[in-house]
Every structure is written in C-alpha cells, then in structure tokens.
Structure 1
Amino acid sequence: MLVGLGGCASPGVSRPVAGDHFSEIPDIPIPETANDRVQPWIDYFQTRGKERFTRYLERSGKYVPMMLRILKQERLPENLVYLSMIESGFNPHAYSRARAVGAWQFMYQTGARYGLKVNEYVDERRDPEKSTVAAARHLKDLFDHYNDWYLAFAGYNAGEGKINRAIRKYKTEDFWEMSQKGNGYLRPETKNYVPKMIAAAMIAKHPKKYGFDDIQYEDPIEFDVIKIHGQTDLRVLAQCAGVAFEDIRNLNPELLLWVTPDSSYEIKLPKGTADQFQTNYAALESWQKMGEKQHIVQKGEDYESLAKEYKLPSQYLAKVNHVSAKNNLKEGIALTIPMQPPSEYKNALLAYQPVQYYRVRHGDTLGRIASRHGVSVSKIRQWNQGHIGKYIYPGQKITIHSKGSSEWQEIASARPSKKQGRAEAAQASLQKNGGTHTVRSGESLWLIARKYETSIQELKRLNPGEIGRYLRPGAKLRLPSSEGESHVTEAPSKSEVEEKVVKKGLPQKKDDVVYHSVNSGDSLWTISRQYNVSIKDLKKW
C-alpha cells in the first residue's frame, strides 16, 4: 500500500487499505528495512544519485495522482508507480538506448500489443495516461503469468521469454535466488531492477527519513479535453485557448510535430480554458487552422514556384491543401499557405523532400554514396536512422532525399547540423574552461573527446602523466586549443592534406579513390568514421 509519496496524492484518490479491492491481487512487499541487495541502492540515491532522485520526487507530484487513479481503476497495487520512477523518473519524454520510450519505457512491439499507436504524428508511449493504462495491463498479465510481483518486474525489464528460460535453467521461481545464480545469463540491469525499485519505494514513502527535505513537488497535472476536427497548428490552438504554445506542447507530449493529426483528435488544454477555446476555434475559417494566409493561384504558377516564394517544400504545401504535388494548379483557386514550423521542428520538413532509394553495391562506402548524390554522410544517417548501423552491406536499401530546388536548400540549412552544434558547444566549453577539463566521476575518455570534438589519442598525447589505465576524478586535463594545435597527431604537418580512402581489398584504380581535405578539428578517428573505414587502413593508404 502506498503511503505518502510526500503528500502529493490527489484528494480525489482514496487510499485503499488491506482487505479492500487489493484483496484479489496481493500487494507488493516493500520492507521497512533494506537487505544487502537493496541497501547499496539506498546509499546511491542518498549520495551520487541524490540530485537526480530529488528531481524524480519533485516530478512525481505532477504524474503520480493520475497514475494512482488508473491503477485503482485497473484494480492493481498502488506501489506499481515506483516502476515508472526507476524506468524514467516519471519523464514522458524519456528515450533509452534500446529505443524504449516514455514514462513506462515501452518498446514499440510491446506498446502496440497494448494499444499504443505510433505514427508520423503521435507516439502514444509518451502519453502519460494512455501509457499508464497500457503498463497496468501489461503488469497484470505478467503477474497472472508468474503469480509473483518480483518475477513480474523482472519480466517487465528483461521480457517474459528471458525470465521463463531463467526459471527453467536455474529451477527456481524465487527472484532473489535466480539473481544470485544468474551470473552471465541475467543482465546486471535485470538483477538490480527489483532492489532498485524497492530502494526507490522506501525513500519515496519516507523522504525525510532518508535526508530528502523540502522537496518542491510539482502541481498535479490538470487539463480539459476537447475533440477537434481537421489538422491544426498547435500555435493556433494556443491562441484560441489564450495560453502559450509551450503549455499545449507540455500537456500533449505524445504529439511529435507542431500540428495535430489530419483527422479528428482529442487535445488536452490547460484546465479552465475549454469554453474560451471552443468559442474562438469555432470562429476560425478552415484555412486558418493551419495557415497564416491564403494565396490565389495566378496563371503559370505551380507548386515549385510557390514553394520558392514561401520557402516551404512543395510536397508540404500540397499535403496541407490535400492535393498531389504532381497535379497542375488551376488559376484562381485559393491555397492555404501554412506557417513556418517552429525552429525546433525545421528538420521535420525533410520528410517532404523528394525521395529516392539506393541499393548498396559491393565496395560502396557512405562517403562515396554521399558524394555521388551531393549530400553529406550525416544527412544519410539522419534519413536512415535506425536502419544504418556501423557498417553498410551490399543489397541494403538506403533512403536519399534529393536536394531539389534552391529554396529547399535554404530550409534544410536553416538549422545547424548536430555535428555543427557539437563543434560550437566544444568551442564554448574550451573558452569557458580555459583550455582544461576537470574529470568528473563516471566520465570516460570517449565522452570527454566527443565533448571537445577531439580524439582519445590527442588527449593522451597532451596528458601523459594524468591518463593511465583509469581516469582519476578531479584530474585536470589539457585540451587542444581551438587555434594552432592540431587535433590530428598522426597526420603530416601540411596546411592541407589529402587522405586517400580506397575500396578495401580492391586494386587502387582511379575510380576507387575519394580525396578528403582535412579541416580544422578533424582527426583520423572522425575521418575513418565518416567513410566507414579503419584508422589502420587510412594510415596504410
């Protein structure tokens, strides 16, 4: 039974007691004292993880009342909220390296099994209410399967198949015994999952007892729900409700774009704004839901000329107006000209760039493919995110967006690339830190090198006395200067160097060679990564 969570429970949510509706499903045993598996996690949350756990407690005030209401409706123990705490810290925007998403960290397949939709407009794994309902039903299924909450949690983390095999392999249905025997089979993350959850629950129930004083709990999330018809810009919705664009975005984290889906959609609005919104929304002309103006087509105009005039992709203009960009425009018709997307969504317009597909051939590299199509390697990786790994292979299909017209190039370049952003951040960090970096606990050479846009080899060269087998927290590392000192220690000292990148294992014919001019900040590592070859081969060539 949940006790407290710092007093953030909603007044509308009653606190059931033993023998109430939880009598059908046993509550989750949360001990009053920690065992030797739980205590290290309590120690961690009280020390190195205290700042992060404090944020979790503060954010719990926003989402826990809603989660408790849903768990009660699903007739499940309230203590299940602590799974969301250790999965994401109650963060609906959380995204893991394994591509799990949302406050309950659903993988795509599991989310789909429990009715969470993912498409170009929405990812319902990020919807706090819908994902909580899905998590409750998933956990209920797991408990029905194992009849044990600790095994259900392990199954939530590792998957039912993994835990089923572990039960057969170690001939036990006791989580603690299984986690002791499961060295080399169960991942440390799974073995620590239950102890971590118990530690989080013990602290959250009695935060002051564990040194978490004066927690500033966020206010419970409250909203009105209105069904709208037809695709609408979120900025228009905000104006109709008399609130900020950020307010609409924060209440609807499942929306992936700055517009609603092009069908009916239930939108969440700040509590108390529904009447004002409905009055203003009903007064809109249909084109005003997406557009800032209408354009009357003149003789000789087509989508390409309008795209150039309004600096929007022709495919996007056509979609907003529910027609094909291939159709001829009739003189005199009125077209909706949509607003430019907010700056943080500029790259979303890439989806409307003309697309072609390329089949990888033997001997291809991403660098050669990019050069052949007049685009960058980073763009190809961006367009094929999730489909291109460290290597490409013959027969693989790669999506290429053609450059198109000049106005598209202006749109595509309006926002700095991720690499440019890292480079600018690196320069800012160098200036701020005076050319040195103080090593923090948990940092690696790879992270530091990436932060300052340099190589591990260069850091080792500049800090022979500080970098040994392990990095010492508190050590001050010299950094390559932004001027003069090269990040490439192995390259010849010429103002411009041509690096040959040759097809591996093939004769060095003229057609097999790409020349790369070394730019400031380049290293052999970054060059080898760009062309999908090894540093050893670069040195040999």
Structure 2
Amino acid sequence: MRFFISMLFILKLGSVSGQSDAQQFLNSKSYLVLGLSEAVSETNRAGIWKLSPAIAVRYGLVVVDGYDERLDPMWSTRAAQIWYRHLYNQLSDSVLADIAMVEGPAYAQRVAYNAIAYRRWQNKLVRWKDEAETRTAINFDQWTYNEEPLLGPVYWEDLDTTIGGLDWNRIKAINPAITGDYLPAGASASIRLDSNIDEDIMERLWARAEVRDRDAGEELAQIRRRIENNIPDPSTHTRISYRVKSGDVLGAIAQRYRVSLSDLKRWNSLHSNMIRIGQDLVVYVPRGVEVATVTQEQAVENEGQVRSDEENRTEIQYRVKSGDTLWSIARNYPGISADDIMRWNGINENIQEGQMLLILVENTARP
C-alpha cells in the first residue's frame, strides 16, 4: 500500500507539467466551453467540458461517489485536450471535431455527409467564438498548488483533524472535485494542499476511516433491526419499560400511551392479549404526547376476547392485504366468522392494509 501511494505521488508530479498545455488548449477552445453550457442538457455529463463518466474515465479522470474530477476545470481540460486530439485524428476536420465534442463522434460523422448541417454548425461555432471573446477566461493559476495523492477510504473532514491548521472552506474552494464527504475504498484522488501528505498521515487517515465505517455499520445494523421489528424512530419516540400491575389489560396500556394494540404486542413478541402481573413491557411513547387516562371499561371495549374453548387453538398473525375484508379473510379459515376475528382483535369491520390480525384456527383448519 505504501508503494502504491509513492507511485501515485510520482505520477501526479509528472502531470503538473501539462498545466501550461491545458491552459493553451482552454484558451483556444473557450468557445466550446460556452457552447457546451448551452447545448448539453444530459444529466450524466458534468464539468466545463460536459464529459460523460465513460469519456472521463477513458481519459484518466476519477469519477466516484464523493469525488469527481470532471468538476475540476484544470484536470478536466487535460482530459478534454486528449479527447479532442483523438477526435481530430479520427475526423480530420476541426469543425467536425468541435461538433463531436458537443454531440458525439457518431453525430459528427453524419454531419460530414450533410452540407447544410455542416454549414449550420460553422455558423453556430462562429457565434460561440464571438460570444466567448466577451467572457472572462478561466485561469489555471488559481489552482497552482501541490497535488497530494490520496487512496480511499478517506473522509474529507479528517484531513483537517489529521494534518491540522487547514481551512476546510478553502480546501473545498481549490478542490472542486470534492463533491461529498468520503473517498471510497480503493479510489485514488489528488488534493491541492499547502501541506504534504506523507505515508504516516495516510495511515492515520485510513485508521480514522476504519473507525467511522465500523460505527456506521453498527448504526445501520441497528436501524435494520429497528425496522424489522417495527420499532419507531428514537428521534420521535421514547422507549420506556412498563411493569404490569393487578387489573391491567393490554388495551388499557396501549391507550394510556397512545400506541396501537398491535404495535404494543409486536414490540413485546406477544401473540395474544394475555399478560401477567409483574411482566415488563416495552413501550415506545410518541414524544410530546400526554399519557391518557383510560378506564377499565374503555379498555375492555377494545381488548380482544378469547373464549376458554378457543385457548388451545393455533395462533396465526395475518397481515391485511389490499382489497381484504374481514369476510374475505374469514372464508380462508373454515369455521371462523368475521365476528370471531373482530372479537379476537377488539376491532370493528374497518381494517387497513398492513394491519396485523390475530386468528385462532383449529390445527386442521389452516388454509
């Protein structure tokens, strides 16, 4: 890895010599920059030369999440210069090469056999040249800094904490290729800095990135577990533990904390409404919601009821699908009526897609 960083540094030193050539190319083709800004609307083309990702990578630019060298005027001009040279060698005509920069080689080849279209493009290029003479030219002198090589994974803000004394806003201003927070693992980049990045600094940047990635992975795993278990967002709900007291019923607890009965059962892996004194229940209370006072009679109205002769049946959790009604669901289970489903779940006939329903079936009655 250290050898690779050293090679990156050597290659970037060699690229500095091409700055004056790139400036000369930009000055001679500034009208194309103007025309490209007017003519190209494809969202995948970026930078002053409106390079596509494929063209950019083909001619030596790095295009990854968090870092896109097409947005760096100097580096993208180096790539555009090589591309233009190839187009000119292919088409043997400067007008067609200009057209190919804007519309692509295939389109330029078609124009070569259409005199009217060729003349129209000549006029358009002349207009762009006239307009470009009134614009302020881009000068690469403002980007004349040491180009320090980096190899991901690197979090950009760690440059300041690792090296120290850096102005992050200035770093972003002189490094327009930085588009996000992070350089992915294995991706290479060059950053303009007043300080040097040696192998020791690179090792420390990788160590910081490893810690960040591990923390992010643990956070993502927690979010996945929360979603899988239908646990609310902790920024909007507070997790509390409620200990069941004598006389409590599950519906009263749910109404007291303004949560649904089905959610309360899911959070506590309950397959029925049976609870016992001293049992600890997890409740995710919406923030800013006042705890309600619910009478025993009100809770019983919404508490599912199971007869003693139904207690040995098999419990099924049924998720309501689009178009379901209690009657259509009941038809799937012999001997069960819509009234049974309403009684078991403490609901009326109104159900919603995604709602979980308790169904008690005989062991031989499953569909």
TM-score (norm 1): 0.33
| Structure label with greater radius of gyration | 2
Larger fraction in helix: 2
Higher relative contact order (CA 8 A, sep 6+): 2
